Amino acid sequence: MENYDQQLNKLKSGEIKKIYVERDNFMLFRDSWLKREDRKYFVGEATHNGNINYRYDETVL
């Protein structure tokens, strides 16, 4: 399985459309996300039970 650094890079490049992060893995995702200067462009949308779908959107301010 890919780590979240790789998945975030793929999401930014458009290779994938979303990253699904389960509640139990959020802190692992957060560690990778916080290292990025472009983190404001990764938009999370909460789903059931605290899980989150992330997408990349450069139009977000």
Domain of residue 32: give its range: 4-56
Q: How confident is the model at residue 61 (pLDDT cuts 50, 70, 90)?
A: low
- pLDDT-derived band at 2 (thresholds 50, 70, 90) equals confident
Report d(CA 33, CA 4) in Å as an integer.
Answer: 8
Percent of the chain clearing pLDDT 70 (strictly above): 95
pLDDT at residue 23, as a whole number? 95
Buried b (16+ CB within 10 A) or exposed e, 14-34: eeeeebebeeeeeeebeebbe
For residue 59, the 8-state DSSP code is T
Structural domain contains residue 61: no
For residue range 13-34, list pLDDT tens digits in order: 999 999 999 999 999 999 999 9
Structural contact between residues 36 and 4, judged by C-beta atoms closer than 8 angstroms = no
> Which of 6, 30, 15, 16 shows the shortest CA–CA distance to 44?
30
Q: How many domains does the chain have?
A: 1
Q: Does residue 47 belong to any structural domain of this protein? A: yes
Does some domain include residue 20? Answer: yes
User: Could you tell me if residue 18 is inside a domain?
Assistant: yes
pTM of the model: 0.89
Residue 12 is assigned to a structural domain of this protein: yes
